[in-house]
Amino acid sequence: MIRRVSLILALSTVLLAVCGDIEKTAAQKVPTRSLKDLFKDDFLIGTAMNARQIEEKDSAGNGLIIRQFNAVTPENVMKAEIIHPGWDKYNFDLADKLVAFAERNNIKVNAHNLIWHSQLPPFVRNMKNTDSVRQYFENHITTLASRYDGKVYSWDVVNEALDEDGSLRKSIFLDKLGDDYVVEAFRLAQKAAPHTKLYYNDYNIEQPKKRAGAIALIKRIQAAGVRIDGIGIQGHWRADKVPMKDIEESIQAFSALGIDVMFTELDLGVLPNPWDHQTADVSQTAAGNEKMNPYANGLPDSVAQMQAKAYKDLFTLFLEYKKNVTRISFWGVNDGQSWLNNWPIPGRTNYPLLFDRDFKPKPAFYSVIATAKEK
């Protein structure tokens, strides 16, 4: 009897050692090996945090964030429509909670964002008067950047200012403030937040034409003697169409400007694209049908494997350029929490992240950590 018990004990020890990744908690299985530890000498590993997580109402999500990530970006709560809903009205509540959560858990905050044409409060969207826009622009940047200076690590100072052809996107800011508005945004942020890193963030800037526009924009900021510390390539790609060559060329081209390169909103969607172009423009939406939502009942293993390979290739590339790439942030914690379930088509079932709807690591998680182990 005693022998049998010790055999069982010995066997379970071996089994535990083999499954070293898995630590059982009452509610779920969580990998003990964490992304942030495995890549700690390479780059920060971040995630977007939604409002429930910021309020610490998603205990499994919050636990996973603390365990896996050392950088967070608020998915929505620091956007103008939420944090600055009226001319003299600011809602700092959730942003302050995010900062406190991050500080308590030794996590860096990338604040997102100061100037963006989307998710503006109605009082700004409807502004006709140039002086009012200028006043809003100055107040908004100065108030937020100074309040969080020394509390957040970095700001996305300007988000998505470029069009696909590399020219400046038509927006209320371009229209009322002219083409130096991006430089001015960085100048104001630099003054108000001397201890905070300042970034430009956009999607599709790995594409050659838009990349050229981003390079011109950065050079213009630098030529004005204004500080810009880095560029964020959002990274909302399709798992079967990751533009690896463009990404590599972009890392090289952007780092040649002397700034950090980051992948700031990474997710590799697996659902069909309603268009023949690739975009992350939140204002472009499409109607859906069953054909556009093929995996409503589960992710086929072949697709999960294809996605795992795409993530592996990407992280292999990121590691090759770890001197230049300073942060990789995923846009959401688990698949069920991803914005891609509702954009560009509402109500679909997408699987773009490393953790499934039960917070369990997917094949993509294991393929990503394998790149770190192979070093």
Q: Which is nearer to ligand XIL, 76 or 293 (CB)?
A: 76
Counting contacts by CB under 6 A, is residue 58 touching ligand XIL?
no
At closest approach, how far in Å is the CB of 49 from ligand XIL? 11
Counting contacts by CB under 6 A, is residue 75 touching ligand XIL?
yes
Give the CA distances from residue 2 to residues 7, 15, 31, in Å, rounded to whole numbers and listed in that order.
Answer: 9, 20, 33
Known catalytic residue: 81?
Answer: no
- Binding to ligand XIL (CB under 6 A) within 303-332 occurs at none
Q: Which is nearer to ligand XIL, 66 or 282 (CB)?
A: 282
At closest approach, how far in Å is the CB of 162 from ligand XIL? 13
Query: In terms of C-beta density within 10 A (0-12 exposed, 13-18 middle, 19 or more buried), how is residue 96 classed?
Result: middle
Known catalytic residue: 75?
Answer: no
Reference 280, options 205, 168, 182, 179; nearest CA is 205
From start to end of the chain, where are the E strands? 22-24, 29-31, 44-49, 71-74, 108-115, 154-159, 197-202, 230-233, 236-238, 260-269, 325-330
> Measured between alpha carbons, how far is 71 from 313 in angstroms, rounded to an integer?
22
> Measured between alpha carbons, how far is 325 from 266 in angstroms, rounded to an integer?
14
Give the residue, chosen from 159, 171, 204, 367, that forms a contact with ligand XIL under the rule CB under 6 A: 159
> Greatest CA span in the chain, whole angstroms?
87
> Measured between alpha carbons, how far is 315 from 214 in angstroms, rounded to an integer?
23
Counting contacts by CB under 6 A, is residue 257 touching ligand XIL?
no
Q: Which is nearer to ligand XIL, 224 or 282 (CB)?
A: 282
Reference 65, options 46, 41, 43; nearest CA is 46
- Binding to ligand XIL (CB under 6 A) within 85-114 occurs at none
Structure tokens at 178: 């002219």
Please identify which of the residues 23, 56, 265, 374 carries the catalytic annotation.
265
Place of tokens 């590799």: 268
At closest approach, how far in Å is the CB of 108 from ligand XIL? 18
Q: Which is nearer to ligand XIL, 107 or 280 (CB)?
A: 280
Give the residue, chosen from 199, 339, 351, 359, that forms a contact with ligand XIL under the rule CB under 6 A: 339
> Measured between alpha carbons, how far is 43 from 121 in angstroms, rounded to an integer?
34
Q: Which is nearer to ligand XIL, 49 or 239 (CB)?
A: 49
At closest approach, how far in Å is the CB of 25 from ligand XIL? 28
Catalytic positions? 160, 265
| Residues near ligand XIL, by CB under 6 A | 75-76, 159, 234, 265, 280, 282, 339
